[in-house]
Structure 1
Amino acid sequence: MAIVYQTDKRSGITYAYQSTSYWDKEKQQSRAKRTLIGRVDKETGEIVPTDGRNKKKKESSEPIKRGPVPVQNTSRSFYGATYLFDAIGEKLGIIEDLKQCFPDTYKQILSIAYYLLLEDKNPLYRFEKWGSLHKHPYGKNITSQRSSELFASISEEQKNMFFRLQGKRRTEKEYWAYDTTSISSYSECLRQVQYGVNKEDDSLPQINLALVFGESSNLPFYYRKLAGNIPDSKTIKKLIEDLDLLGFSKVKLVLDRGFYSADNINDFYKDHRKFLVGVKTSLSFVKKELDIIHDDFRSFENYSEKYELYHRSVLTKWNYTQERPYKGDTITDRKQLYIHYYYNIDRAADEEKAFDRKLISLKQELESGIRVPEHENQYKKYFDIKTTPKRGVQVKVNEEAIKKAKRYYGFFVLVTNEKMDAITALEIYRNKDVIEKAFGNLKERLNMRRTLVSSEQSLDGKLFVEFIALIYLSYIKKQMQDHDLFKTYTISSALDKLDVIECFEQPGHKLSVGEILEKQKELYHHFGVLPPNSL
């Protein structure tokens, strides 16, 4: 049996028939008997039952029996990977939260996210082929026009509701890592596409994308699109406002040194928010405390064999200020601040070699008389230059200036207002690299290196669906890391191994799943999912 569709040319109505094949003994050939099932709804594509006279069946007064929805089509589809996504979505509450925020379109959002996960780097117009071969939540084709309409329909209110619901499922005890990346764009129509500091040295204008990740859960929680010319340090105030509006005023943030500014640190203290921030060694308060402990820094008791570096912690005071325009005054105070110092010998050697090579190049420029205007300050800082009629240009190295420059090579610094030892702080900070890898996943696997949309609404919606796919991808990646699966698989090969598992559907029967190998069952268990019941 199969479902056959036929359109009435006069009315334009499409009808669905159940076609049953049989053998005609008299004519000695195969024939088919068709039974009208109903008419096809143009909006939803669903079959609306009729009584055979082009009228909808009257509603029965008998209560509707609950149970599995009967299958209307006989089909054979790939199911193993999309089953995994279904299970992860249930586990993380993604499906439930999407359904609450997008009751009419959540299945389409999920299907596109599944497509992005399995067909990395493929454009959305290839969805039709993929959708016809896979069992997925929406179950029907999503054309390029329909996907654009879907993206444009996703509102800020719906997105914020989803962030709020997902955030409640995360633990507020963990640090949340925050970072930004640049996404280049060919579009001249998007207001936030601007020239700025591109983190991949791309010459195109860009938008910036900010992400918040759970430092230990490795799951993304929130994102925001920014104009391409906004520096990182200027985004913190808006981040804090957004987190407050979403009901997460007590979260702890871990940030790299691009987000450091005295104003941001003051705002963290003002809001009683815990932070861990990387800072430059050139900051005066950092150098002041380091100079006190510098000479005996590399003592044996300060060495970490695990991380192969030396570490020291200093408790100091932060000069807190808070301007109060409504009162016309400024509050000052001394707040407790922990500074964690780290020294890596290999890093120091690399920095010193690079500096020496730079000095050689500068000296050659001076002696040859081919001076570079941009290097004038460095010439004056590191060399004594004399010119005589007989001996020409004489260049002598300023040893004191060079020694001073090399004094802080190999050091890096973290500051926090939460009491912890230096190694704990280092581990929390290093876990922040999950967000760097997430940006790589967005740009490479989820095909967001350059935006190809032409409207703000489409871009916002596409980013949201990409974000949904990123939650799944981040969960899968963490499970693979936790179970040491990267020795055997890549993310693609692991998903491919499950993707080949098939399912079978036919009217009057429940869905059945094909054979599952032991290696495939092991993968499901590593991902924290029970394998589907197979034949």
Structure 2
Amino acid sequence: HLKRWDDRGKGLLLDLAAYSVIAESNVAQHFPDYAYNHPLMTPQNKIYSDSTISRFIREIDDNDRVDFLNSWNATHDKNEKIYVSYDSTNKNCKAGDIEMAEYGHPKNDVGAPIINYSIAYDMTNEKPLLYESYPGSIVDVSQLKYMLEKIRGYGYKKIGFILDRGYFSKANIQFMDSCDYDFVMMVKGRASFVHGLIMEHMGEFESKRACSIKAYRTYGITVKAKLYADDDTDRYFHIYYKAKKQASERARLEADLDRMEAEMDKIKGREYKLPKRYEHYFKLTYHKDKFYGYEEREDVIERELQLCGYFAIVTSEKMTASEALNLYKSRDISEKLFGSDKTFLGNRSFRVASSQAAEAKIFIQFIALIIRARIYTLLRKRKAEMPGKPNYLSVPSALKELEKIELIRQPNGNYKLDHAVTATQKVILGAFGLDEEWIKAQARLIGKDIQNAAMPEEQKDDDEDAENEEY
């Protein structure tokens, strides 16, 4: 998928992606230290300085990124039915020359502009499909339509989207219908059009064993209804109840109410304007801008206490409550991928000062996420096959264990394995279809490559002549 890149460029790009996965960092200044202790994909294992790395990042342009995404998506079977999980995040940005950095609605507000970016993850084949970066002032619900158009542009036909409640809007639903795309979407249980359905069917399924979804200790039923008044199509509403969720939500609501009451007791008689959230649960009394008292809205609180433990998923495609919940829960994989992007790959900060470099780092991180997603998938399958579910088959633990496999330079200049492959390392390698013999073969090839790279040119010529004569 990197046809336009020369060997040096391919090697550097893949080395930076591997560096992100293994070192959990994207700091260019630390790359030479990583490169000194790891085999590289650049020709002759050449170690480039941090200034060269920074210059290389700035040279990655829009055509490089677009060509890769076009090639990456061209290989997928467009007639295969796939479900795509779509999610987004944002990064606070204090650099002055990044055009995408705008004030918006950050998840962690530090008073700085933000950059938004999102990932579409193919749940069926377990791999990232594409990413987007867009200005921080654009809200997620508005961006979804543009992502759907990109997906359609790649030629995907039989596709469904797994979305969280942040993408719910009438316009998005109608656009997905126009594209003939299915969707699985979480909706807020307290939303007016949902809680009516929940209240209508409350008591019909919460303890019926036929409605039990054992994997999640949840009970669920499916009903048909319209999403909005002028909806042309019946949707499938899957209503769920979970006793453990009910207990935690009730406790949280009671604690919130106690906290709000304590706060209001402190400010009685003072000039103070309480947030609208307080008005939802209490009737507030003011006199000449001074706060004087409050009274519970009992009907509101009682209704919300009744709704604790209930949630709903709406789908365009007919399926059971169990199938809908399994599909939505599979979205956890893509959410962990985003967790990786911000934590495991060291990408909490971009460490750039220009728009071009920011776009390039996001692109490199996407390459790294493709690699890490594959590692995660294979390790997860291996773990499922084993009794006891060993904890060393997580990505960080497995990489840390494999880091112990080292080549040591011998007195004659040759490089050899420092010690035999351990039993744990063999299990991890087995997840990728590799074994100890493969490690030994790679060790010989890498050792010879490093030895040749360090050899003077004249000696290389003599060795090549000797090899030719022997042949």
Q: Please give the per-residue CA displacement for 1:249-285, whole angstroms capped at 9, x wherever unaligned.
A: 4322111000111100010101101111111223333
Shift of 1:464: 1.0
Question: Which residue is 2:23 aligned to?
Answer: 119
Query: Cα–Cα, structure 1 residues 259 and 395, in superposed 2: closer, same or farther, change >3 Å?
Result: closer
Query: Cα–Cα, structure 1 residues 409 and 442, in superposed 2: closer, same or farther, change >3 Å?
Result: same
1:186–1:451 CA contact under 8 A, matched in 2: no
How far apart, CA to CA, are the structure 1 residues paired with 2:347 and 2:380? 24
Within 5 Å, which residues of 2 pair with 1:483-502?
483-484=382-383, 487-488=391-392, 490-502=394-406
Q: Please give the per-residue CA displacement for 1:347-394, whole angstroms capped at 9, x wherever unaligned.
A: 22222223223333444555662575225774585459799xxxxx88
Within 5 Å, which residues of 2 pair with 1:302-451?
302-318=211-227, 334-364=232-262, 369-370=268-269, 372-375=272-275, 378-379=278-279, 382-383=282-283, 397-451=296-350
Q: Calculate the TM-score normalised by the size of structure 1.
A: 0.71
Q: Calculate the TM-score normalised by the size of structure 2.
A: 0.79
Task: Quote the RMSD (CA, aligned, Å).
Answer: 3.2
Q: Please give the per-residue CA displacement for 1:440-485, whole angstroms capped at 9, x wherever unaligned.
A: 2122222211221111111111111111111111211222222226
How far apart, CA to CA, are the structure 2 residues paired with 1:249 and 1:339? 24
Shift of 1:414: 1.0
1:200 aligns to 2:104 (yes or no): no
Shift of 1:162: 2.0
1:256–1:279 CA contact under 8 A, matched in 2: yes
How far apart, CA to CA, are the structure 2 residues paired with 1:114 and 1:359? 49
Letter in 2 for 1:451: F
Within 5 Å, which residues of 2 pair with 1:5-20?
none
Question: Which residue is 1:47 aligned to?
Answer: none
1:160–1:246 CA contact under 8 A, matched in 2: no
1:319–1:335 CA contact under 8 A, matched in 2: no
Question: Which residue is 2:178 aligned to?
Answer: 270
| Number of equivalenced pairs | 420
Query: Cα–Cα, structure 1 residues 257 and 132, in superposed 2: closer, same or farther, change >3 Å?
Result: same
Within 5 Å, which residues of 2 pair with 1:43-58?
none
Query: Cα–Cα, structure 1 residues 274 and 479, in superposed 2: closer, same or farther, change >3 Å?
Result: same
Shift of 1:430: 1.3
How far apart, CA to CA, are the structure 2 residues paired with 1:496 and 1:406? 47
User: Aligned to 1:136, what secondary structure does the other structure show?
Assistant: coil
Q: Which runs of 5+ in 1 are unaligned?
A: 1-96, 321-331, 388-392
Q: Please give the per-residue CA displacement for 1:211-247, whole angstroms capped at 9, x wherever unaligned.
A: 1112244321211112112211011111011112222
Q: Please give the per-residue CA displacement for 1:306-337, whole angstroms capped at 9, x wherever unaligned.
A: 211221111223459xxxxxxxxxxx761131
2:26–2:350 CA contact under 8 A, matched in 1: no
Question: Which residue is 2:167 aligned to?
Answer: 259
How far apart, CA to CA, are the structure 2 residues paired with 1:362 and 1:292? 31
Letter in 2 for 1:374: L
Deviates more, 1:355-364 or 1:227-236: 355-364
Q: Which runs of 5+ in 2 are unaligned?
A: 384-388, 442-471
2:163–2:184 CA contact under 8 A, matched in 1: yes
How far apart, CA to CA, are the structure 2 residues paired with 1:420 and 1:437? 26
Question: Which residue is 1:17 aligned to?
Answer: none
1:319–1:333 CA contact under 8 A, matched in 2: yes
Q: Percent identity?
A: 25
Question: Which residue is 1:522 aligned to?
Answer: 427
Shift of 1:404: 2.4
Deviates more, 1:514-523 or 1:453-462: 514-523
How far apart, CA to CA, are the structure 2 residues paired with 1:380 and 1:502? 62
Q: Please give the per-residue CA displacement for 1:82-138, whole angstroms capped at 9, x wherever unaligned.
A: xxxxxxxxxxxxxxx22x242452122112212222222362222223323322110
User: Aligned to 2:233, what secondary structure does the other structure show?
Assistant: strand
Deviates more, 1:108-117 or 1:141-150: 141-150
User: Aligned to 1:425, what secondary structure does the other structure show?
Assistant: helix
Shift of 1:140: 1.0
How far apart, CA to CA, are the structure 1 residues paired with 2:439 and 2:278? 70
How far apart, CA to CA, are the structure 2 residues paired with 1:397 and 1:120? 50
Question: Which residue is 1:295 aligned to?
Answer: 203
Query: Cα–Cα, structure 1 residues 533 and 373, in superposed 2: closer, same or farther, change >3 Å?
Result: closer
Match of 1:166 among 49, 56, 72: 72
2:380–2:394 CA contact under 8 A, matched in 1: no
1:185–1:452 CA contact under 8 A, matched in 2: no
How far apart, CA to CA, are the structure 2 residues paired with 1:366 and 1:459? 45
Query: Cα–Cα, structure 1 residues 185 and 333, in superposed 2: closer, same or farther, change >3 Å?
Result: closer
Query: Cα–Cα, structure 1 residues 219 and 210, in superposed 2: closer, same or farther, change >3 Å?
Result: same
- The structure with the greater share of residues assigned to helix is 2
User: Aligned to 2:41, what secondary structure does the other structure show?
Assistant: coil
Letter in 2 for 1:311: G
How far apart, CA to CA, are the structure 2 residues paired with 1:381 and 1:490? 44
Within 5 Å, which residues of 2 pair with 1:447-486?
447-484=346-383
Shift of 1:513: 6.6
1:136 aligns to 2:45 (yes or no): no
Deviates more, 1:110-119 or 1:243-252: 243-252
Question: Which residue is 1:282 aligned to?
Answer: 190
1:386–1:395 CA contact under 8 A, matched in 2: no
Query: Cα–Cα, structure 1 residues 155 and 252, in superposed 2: closer, same or farther, change >3 Å?
Result: farther
User: Aligned to 1:451, what secondary structure does the other structure show?
Assistant: coil
Shift of 1:182: 1.2
User: Aligned to 1:418, what secondary structure does the other structure show?
Assistant: coil
Q: Please give the per-residue CA displacement for 1:474-513, whole angstroms capped at 9, x wherever unaligned.
A: 211222222226513553342233334356999xxx9987
How far apart, CA to CA, are the structure 2 residues paired with 1:458 and 1:386? 53
Shift of 1:304: 2.4
How far apart, CA to CA, are the structure 2 residues paired with 1:394 and 1:197? 32
Deviates more, 1:293-302 or 1:269-278: 293-302
Shift of 1:415: 1.0
Match of 1:228 among 136, 139, 154: 136
Structure number with higher relative contact order (C-alpha < 8 Å, ≥ 6 residues apart): 1
2:28–2:54 CA contact under 8 A, matched in 1: no
1:153 aligns to 2:59 (yes or no): yes
Query: Cα–Cα, structure 1 residues 366 and 530, in superposed 2: closer, same or farther, change >3 Å?
Result: closer
How far apart, CA to CA, are the structure 2 residues paired with 1:337 and 1:380? 30
How far apart, CA to CA, are the structure 1 residues paired with 2:416 and 2:21? 24
How far apart, CA to CA, are the structure 2 residues paired with 1:229 and 1:444? 24
